[in-house]
Amino acid sequence: MLRKKKIISNKILKIIYQHDYTKRTIISLYKYFKIHNPIILLDFIKIELKKYDVLGRIYIATEGINVQISTPDIYMKNVIYFFKNLNIHLKNICINYSIVNRSMAFWKLQIKIRKQLVANNIHDIPILTDSFKNYLNAFQVNKCFFDKNTIFVDIRNHYEYEIGHFHRSLEIPSNTFREQLDKLPIFLRLYQNKKIVLYCTGGIRCEKAAALLKKYKFKNIYQIYGGILSYINQTKTYNLPMYFKGKLFVFDSRMAERITNDVVSICKNCQNITDSMHINCLNNVCHRLFIQCEKCSRKLKSYCSKRCLNFS
Ligand SMILES: [Zn+2]
Ligand SMILES: [Zn+2]
């Protein structure tokens, strides 16, 4: 199908939206379900969302849809109605509202066809229907913290876990989702008889992790409904105790959003607790993303190690 030529350059679009003071809210939603023709769906969504001046990014795959968009508040109801009626599988979809609204998070609408919603290159994980899943709301999650037979498992990368996570949760140390899925069944073998609660930022990675564990015959798998984002919003709305400690890693220039005053991150060099942000090692060959306290940062000039400092 022929696509319209770009009329306005990205640079100009960015400037336009920098000076646009429309009140907007960022929402996200996702669902794994069979989509037979992603291209037709893409065109339909594009035409509809243009009417509401929606910005952001949407990924469509034959395995489902993943949406993160900034919507003008005046059209919020229309946009949510649109998605809920787009497909029978989206009828009761969980809508996650961003904890903090960044006015400049998006300045155009990008809809892309992807092979997978969250790249992991494992293609034999079945899509589970909702009746096979156990979702927990924030009330139920908080109850689980008092149950000795429950373990919380973080389904995020190491750099996300190290700045904030659920109290006493288990980390599956990995730098990619693929690496984590590979390790997951082995790591959790010891806990097969426990109630296993999976969580990630918005819940999408847990959908795959839960389906994988079911394939490996794990029985007591639970997921936090809407992930950490929904948990935080619910604890605020209902004034519940908050068991997520520290900062939440976010995928934009701020990198992290403080949730509680607890500091859980550790300096990679001296192992002391530090509230410093992630930095990339200045050695371009290394470029490792890591946490360094101010003292070590002065000593190593923001390189991750003496080796990187000396070799660059
Ligand atoms: Zn240090
Ligand atoms: Zn380095």
Task: Measure 252 CA to ligand 2 centroid, in angstroms.
Answer: 22
Sheet holding 96-97, edge to edge: 96-97, 24-32, 64-72, 55-61, 109-113
Ligand nearest to the CA of 299: 1
Dig out the tokens for 100 from the structure.
């903090």
pLDDT digits over 297-310, tens only?
999 999 999 999 99
Mean pLDDT of all residues in 233-239: 96
Mean pLDDT of all residues in 73-80: 97
Domains identified in the chain, total number: 3
Q: Which of 200, 281, 293, 296 is catalytic?
A: 200
Q: Is residue 198 part of a domain?
A: yes
Q: Is residue 158 part of a domain?
A: yes
In the predicted structure, residue 1 carries a pLDDT above the cut 60: no
Q: Is residue 5 part of a domain?
A: no
Please tell me which residue, 98 or 228, carries the higher pLDDT value.
228
| pLDDT for position 123 | 82
- State whether residue 75 is helix, strand or coil: helix
Say whether both 163 and 78 belong to one domain. Answer: no
Q: Is residue 121 part of a domain?
A: no
Q: Is residue 242 part of a domain?
A: yes
At position 274, the amino acid (one-letter code) is: T
Which of 218, 246, 274 terminates a domain? The answer is: 246
Tokens 């339909």 correspond to what residue?
Answer: 44
Full domain range(s) for residue 220? 130-246
pLDDT digits over 280-298, tens only?
999 999 999 999 999 999 9
Name the β-bridge partners of 245. Answer: 165
Q: Give CB contacts under 8 A, 24+ apart, made by 301-305.
A: 304/268, 304/269, 305/269, 305/281
Say whether both 183 and 136 belong to one domain. Answer: yes
- Alpha carbon separation from 134 to 201, 217, 221, 240, 262 (Å, rounded): 17, 15, 7, 21, 30
Task: Measure 288 CA to ligand 2 centroid, in angstroms.
Answer: 6
Task: Measure 300 CA to ligand 1 centroid, in angstroms.
Answer: 10
Asked if 281 is an active-site residue, the reply is no
Under the banding of pLDDT at 50, 70 and 90, the label for residue 254 is: low
At position 305, the amino acid (one-letter code) is: S
Say whether both 70 and 34 belong to one domain. Answer: yes
In percent, the amount of the chain with pLDDT more than 90 equals 78
Say whether both 184 and 275 belong to one domain. Answer: no
What's 32's domain CATH number?
Answer: 3.30.70.100
Q: Is residue 190 part of a domain?
A: yes
Dig out the tokens for 150 from the structure.
């429950």
Task: Measure 227 CA to ligand 1 centroid, in angstroms.
Answer: 31
Q: Is residue 122 part of a domain?
A: no
| pLDDT for position 50 | 93
Ligand nearest to the CA of 283: 2
At position 206, the amino acid (one-letter code) is: C
At position 283, the amino acid (one-letter code) is: N
Average pLDDT across the chain, whole number: 91
Say whether both 241 and 135 belong to one domain. Answer: yes
| pLDDT for position 14 | 74
Give residues with Cβ within 8 angstroms of 123, minimum separation 6. Answer: none
Say whether both 206 and 277 belong to one domain. Answer: no
Which of 246, 273, 300 terminates a domain? The answer is: 246
| pLDDT for position 2 | 46
| pLDDT for position 297 | 95
| pLDDT for position 128 | 80
Say whether both 39 and 71 belong to one domain. Answer: yes
CB environment 12-33: b (16+ within 10 A), e (fewer) = eeeeebeeeeeebebbbbbbbe
Say whether both 136 and 240 belong to one domain. Answer: yes
What's 154's domain CATH number?
Answer: 3.40.250.10
Q: Minimum mean pLDDT among 30-44, 193-207, 210-224, 252-266: which range?
A: 252-266
Q: Is residue 238 part of a domain?
A: yes
At position 120, the amino acid (one-letter code) is: N
